[in-house]
Every structure is written in C-alpha cells, then in structure tokens.
Amino acid sequence: MDLKDWFASRQKRREIQEVITQPLTTEEYCALWKQCFQCRELLYTRDLRTNLDVCPKCDYHFRIGALDRIEQLADENSFEELDADMRSSDPLNFFDTEAYTKRQDEASRKSGLREAVLTGLCKIEGQTAALGCMDFGHFGGSMGSVVGEKVTRLTEAALERKSPLIVVCSSGGARMQEGILSLMQMAKTSSVLKTFNDAGGLYISILSEPTFGGVTASFAMLGDFIIAEPGARIGFAGRRVIEQTIRQKLPADFQTAEYLLKHGQVDMVVSRNKLKETLARLITFHQGAGTSANANNSSENSNGQGSSEPKPLGARN
C-alpha cells in the first residue's frame, strides 16, 4: 500500500472502529484500550495516540512502528518514500521449522510493511532531511540485505543532496535467515557512513525500544549525535545471553537508555514529544557550520530578506 493511502485509510479505520455497537470481542476491546506496561493504567487508545503513544500517567514510551514514527517526525505530507518496493530474496534457501519466504510473507501480513525499515526524504520543521525509520513489528526489525541496502541508499541520497541523515533504530539484530549476507550489511552501512562523515554530513541516530546486535554495532552507534528514547533497551548482546554467560543477575536498569546516558554512550535521552523539536534544533545549529555560507546566511537573515522564520530576540536589529 502507498504511504499516502495508508494515512488516509487509517483515518477511515479509526472512524469505523468507533461505530461498533455490538459487544466487544477481546481483540476489539484491546484495539480501544491498552494497558500501560509500566504503571498498569488502562489507557484509551485514542488518548494514547494523541500523546504520541506515551503513557500520560507515567511517561512510559510504547513501542511504535515506522509509519507512526514518520507521521510524528516528518512535516505533514512531506515524506517521499525511497525504494518502497525493495524486497528480500532468499539467498540461502533458508529453512528452519519453516521456509524463510513463508516467514517473510507472514511478517508482511502482520506488519503491513514490505521490510523492517522505511526510508525517504522529508521536511522536518521546514528543513530537508533523509529519514529512515525501522519497525520492530516487522520481523523483529532484523537487518537483512534490504534493511542494509535501504539504509545505505538513504545515506547516499543524503550525501548527494547534502542533507542531514536521521535514522530511527529499532531492531533485534541481524537477520539470521540471510546468514553471512546479513552480517555484511553491518560493514556496508558503516562503510557508506564513513564516506558521508568524511564529506561533512550530519548524521543523527535515534535509538528506540529495542535496539540490539548488528544494528547497534554498526550504524546505530555511528551518529554524530546519538539520541535515546526514555526507557528504551539498547545493547550489543541480549540480556539473556549475558546472564547465561556470566551466570549472574543483572541490574534492573541494565541496558536502558538512562543507563547508557550514565555510561557516556548517548548524547541525550529525549522524550518523544520533544524529539522533533530537538532534531530541528540540532539540524539548524549545524546548517552551514564551519563554512562561509554560514556567515552569508546569517547576514541575509539579519537583513530580514525573504525570511519569515521567527528569530530569537537577540538577533533583531
């Protein structure tokens, strides 16, 4: 489904949901009400949505999908998707208890997505940006060839347009079903980020619940800025693997965003309702930084020509 259609049809679906008059089945009940995982409060789904899927009582950040994320971060109708049709093939002919191809179809049916990342160009508070959003709901957000390729192409698109690159990560790690080729995506994305970095590109990585394994150990940790969402669990090895290896209980806050902040691994932990604003500020701060264009822009602005943007008080003549 096209993204625009999706947004349009979602509005319709919401309306349909509200005219149900029969007694609710559990599933429908769940669609209307959601219990907060943290404070156990029963929340009305509509209220939760307007609050960006953050619990109004305890600030618990619910996991959200790529489409919701795009809606929250990109200016309205500004998102133009890249490589929308790219799909994974089955290079290993992988079969565990089921064929990989069948698992892919299942994943798509559940998530409504073709792959675990959506990439595209958009505006964020009026500024062009290349935006990639991963979706844990599709195949555990795992990185196979398509995720690696889409992130790589997005970086190349940002490089070409000299626009900032923003990737919202959410992943269980590499996709085992594509074997060694999944592993190579770590090197592929890191390699193109090296080129992007050397060219002076600004890359902001956002770590959301959960970000692990091959994604953390490649592009997620290579941002000029690394922002984590409150409560998100982020790490290299999973909690269970570590517990089995060291045979020891781990601290409760182990691998949370706040824990990473304490250990100097992320620049900041930012609440979802401040995320867009924070991104916009970081982008603005670095616009033309270190170039003469910076000076030109500011002199233009101080002349007030063609600029309708609000200026800080101190900048007024």
Partner 1 sequence: MATDKKPIPLEFEQPLAILAQNMDALEKQLSDNPELEADLDRMQEQYNSLKRSLYLNLRPIDHLAIARHPQRPYTRDYFSAWDPNWIELHGDRKGVDDAAMVGGLLEIDGIKVVAVGTQKGRTLRDKQHCNFGMPQPEGYRKALRLFRHADKFKLPILCLIDTQGAYPGIAAEEHNQSQAIAENLMELAGVTVPVVAAITGEGGSGGALAIGVANRILMLEHSVYSVITPEGCASILWRSNDKVSEACQAMKMTAKEILQLGVIDQVIKEPLGGAHHDYQAVAANLKAAIVLQLQELLKLSPKEVRQHRQDKFRAFGSFR
**Contact residue for Zn ion among 36, 117, 122, 226 (CB under 5 A):** 36
108 binds partner 1, rule: CB under 8 A:
no
Closest CA to 267 of 193, 186, 204, 209: 204
Q: C-beta of 115: minimal distance to partner 1 in Å? A: 9
Q: C-beta of 42: minimal distance to Zn ion in Å? A: 10
231 binds partner 1, rule: CB under 8 A:
no
The pair of structure tokens assigned to 210 is 């959960």
Q: Which is nearer to Zn ion, 55 or 168 (CB)?
A: 55
CA distances from 20 to 7, 25, 45, 244, 262 (A): 21, 11, 15, 48, 48
Q: Please report, as residue ranges, which positions from 133 to 192 form the binding site for partner 1 (by CB under 8 A).
A: 145-146, 148-149, 152, 174-176, 178-188, 190-192
Spatial separation of the C-alpha atoms in residues 102 and 135, rounded to whole Å: 19
Q: Which is nearer to partner 1, 51 or 190 (CB)?
A: 190
261 binds partner 1, rule: CB under 8 A:
no
* DSSP-derived 3-state class of residue 270: coil
**Contact residue for partner 1 among 107, 118, 220, 282 (CB under 8 A):** 220
DSSP string for 109-159: HHHS-SSSEEEEEEEETTEEEEEEEE-TTTGGG-B-HHHHHHHHHHHHHHH
57 binds Zn ion, rule: CB under 5 A:
yes
Spatial separation of the C-alpha atoms in residues 115 and 138, rounded to whole Å: 7
52 binds partner 1, rule: CB under 8 A:
no
Spatial separation of the C-alpha atoms in residues 201 and 224, rounded to whole Å: 9
Residues linked to residue 206 through DSSP beta bridges, in sequence order: 168, 227
204 binds partner 1, rule: CB under 8 A:
no
Contact 63, 229 (CB under 8 A): no
List residues near Zn ion by CB under 5 A: 36, 38-39, 41, 55, 57-58, 60
List residues near partner 1 by CB under 8 A: 86-89, 91-92, 94-97, 145-146, 148-149, 152, 174-176, 178-188, 190-195, 197-198, 213-214, 216-222, 235-238, 241-242, 245-246, 248, 250, 254-255, 263, 265
